[in-house]
Amino acid sequence: MKKITIIFLLICGLTYSQNLTIESGAYLTIEKTGSATVGGNFSNSGTVIMNSDADEFSAIKISGTTNGNITYKRFVNVASSNEWDLIGSPVDGLSISDFANINTSGTATLATNGPFNQFAYAIGYYDNSTDTWTNYTNETVGGAGNFDIGKGYQMGTVSGGTQILLFTGTISSSDETQSIINNDAANSGSGRRWNLVANPYPSYINANDDADNTNNFLTSNVNKIDSNFLAIYGWNADGFGYTARGHDYNSNSAVYFAPGQAFMIASDDTSGENIIFAEAMQTVSPTSTDDFISGDLMENTEIFLRLYNYDELIEDTHIKFQDNMTIGLDPGYDLGDFYQGAALTTRLVDNDQGFNFAHQQLPVSAMENAVIPLVINQSAGQEFRINLHTATIPDPNVYLEDVEEGTFTNLYEGDFVYTPTSDLEGVGRFFIHMTADTMSSGEVSTSMLNAYKEIDASYITIEGLATQSNETKVSLYNILGREVLATTLNNNMGTQTISTVGLSAGIYVIELESGSDRLTKKLLIQ
């Protein structure tokens, strides 16, 4: 194989089928918009610099072996209240102590809280066994060893600086693994299911099947990530909390990890296992050169709800309709919320397992009759409003039902505004309806008949039968309108129960008919 020798070169975009050698005293610079692909081996005895800024990241992909160090100049946000970045080392063999010293010397911009007898560097790691972050100090950094390639860290730079941190080391030329574990065996919703991992290469990585339908991170690790959270969760430094991206998210649904990008994933194994970053996942030609956090949040056939405390945006949630989805769990498309106690989320329409979702996808066929459980967590006395921020759906109205108050609010016409007299939490009170019909509070029945399901009970209780002169017919329908149960009750007993054993968790409609009295209402079966 032929060899190309570099003396001085500035790269904006270049592909090599040969070996690439940078001789001693020679320079290779890859601009922030540039990339290089080396079909053979890479050897560096000179200087290789790779540049980036907030939105653009240089990339290099090596097919063969690698030798010699490179320096990646990685953009990192200012360390303030929210604008920390989740970062991993894009090079191997880099000492954390050397990194801290280099990046706090001269014009470098790594933040510290010094000078004190013991000060902390803006380099921290996440321990999910205790759900805590720990930053290295001048006393602990010396024994920190090298950056664990494939592991994520929190980092921040100083205000007014270049916001560039220098990573110097070798380029990985093999598949890399990183251990993850679920330390939340009780599924309590704590942070202990989450693991901070990172792209170990100075190239982009295909994150989902729209980036590459074979060699992508989510597909390769599908059996190691909790199916309720089959997504990557990146810190949104420009907004709040974590942004989830799965297999299909927006109009440009191909997702990539930028060089040095770290993110959270949820493990499904309480004993631990290894996720893989494969060489075959690498690319230098993403359809978007930004990291995965930014981008348009809307897509055709989607509704986008937001919850505000007065005028302060607190939380949002997305409901999308597309072909090939189900009303149950679609891993990688239904994305659990990072914070399970978040202010506004949804629950699965069918086979609900108790997880709250930030993004839920349903089949197009369910659009005109969907009833979606809405989870609202708010404190007593705190006025809040729910706004239909954007909707791109044909025809159906979007109603928010409050079962306890017996009201339907058309969100196309105005916000749902409410001040609870007691704390709101959990599921079963609020629902989103998609319907072409007009709904009103009068649809809540005042019949003497009543049907309800107690929490954790395996039966439906029917009351008011003794007031009826006729037998009572009972029908139960799933969300798609299919009858799943039918029976006739004897009114000699004022209260009777109907077993729900064998029924999938989800939303059902129960219909009771006794003479002129008729009751239709929704029930949440868990």
> CA-CA distance, 477 to 483, in Å (whole number)?
4
What is the tens place of the pLDDT at every residue in 318-356? 999 888 899 899 999 999 999 999 999 999 988 888 899
pTM comes to 0.82
Coil/strand/helix, residue 98? helix
Residue with tokens 């109205």, as numbered in its chain: 397
Q: What is the mean pLDDT of residues 215-235?
A: 95
Q: Name the least confident of 87-101, 130-144, 150-164, 459-473.
A: 459-473
Coil/strand/helix, residue 336? strand
For residue 73, pLDDT beyond 70: yes
Of 318, 324, 297, the residue nearest 238 (C-alpha): 297
- Which of left, alpha, beta for 189 (phi over 0: left; psi -120 to 50: alpha)? left
Token pair, residue 352, equals 């609900």
| Residue 178 CB contacts under 8 Å (≥ 6 apart), including other chains | 148, 150, 151, 195, 197, 274, 275, 277
What is the tens place of the pLDDT at every residue in 155-204? 999 988 889 999 999 999 999 999 999 998 777 777 899 999 999 999 99
Q: What is the mean pLDDT of residues 92-96?
A: 98
| Residue 170 CB contacts under 8 Å (≥ 6 apart), including other chains | 66, 67, 68, 69, 70, 91, 92, 93
446: confidence class by pLDDT, cuts 50, 70, 90? very low
Please provide the average confidence, as pLDDT, over all residues in the chain.
86
Residue with tokens 């914070």, as numbered in its chain: 339
The enclosing H or E element of 220 equals helix 217-220
> CA-CA distance, 131 to 456, in Å (whole number)?
29
> CA-CA distance, 110 to 220, in Å (whole number)?
34
For residue 3, pLDDT beyond 60: no
Contact (CB, 8 A) for 202 and 50: yes
Max Cα-Cα span within the chain = 99
> CA-CA distance, 474 to 451, in Å (whole number)?
10
Convert 512-524 to b/e letters by CB count within 10 Å (16 or more is b): bbbeebebbbbbb
What is the tens place of the pLDDT at every residue in 261-298? 999 999 999 999 999 999 999 999 887 666 654 444 44
Give the pLDDT of residue 354.
86
β-sheet bridge partners, residue 417: 385
Rg of the chain on CA atoms, in Å = 28
> CA-CA distance, 21 to 218, in Å (whole number)?
34
Give the pLDDT of residue 296.
42
Give the pLDDT of residue 118.
74
For residue 81, pLDDT beyond 80: no
Cα torsion angle, 395, 397, 398, 401, sign: negative
Give the pLDDT of residue 26.
93
Q: Name the least confident of 61-70, 321-330, 486-495.
A: 486-495
Q: What are phi and psi of 260, to 5 degrees?
A: 80, 5
Contact (CB, 8 A) for 85 and 259: no
- Which of left, alpha, beta for 156 (phi over 0: left; psi -120 to 50: alpha)? beta
What is the tens place of the pLDDT at every residue in 381-398? 999 999 998 877 766 788
Is beta strand 344-346 parallel, antiparallel or unpaired with respect to 371-376?
antiparallel
Give percent of the chain with pLDDT exceeding 70. Answer: 87
Q: Is 106 exposed, middle or buried (0-12, 13-18, 19+ CB in 10 A)?
A: exposed
Between 238 and 369, where is the model more confident? 369
Cα torsion angle, 478, 481, 483, 489, sign: positive
Contact (CB, 8 A) for 128 and 141: no
Of 355, 390, 300, the residue nearest 505 (C-alpha): 355
Coil/strand/helix, residue 215? coil
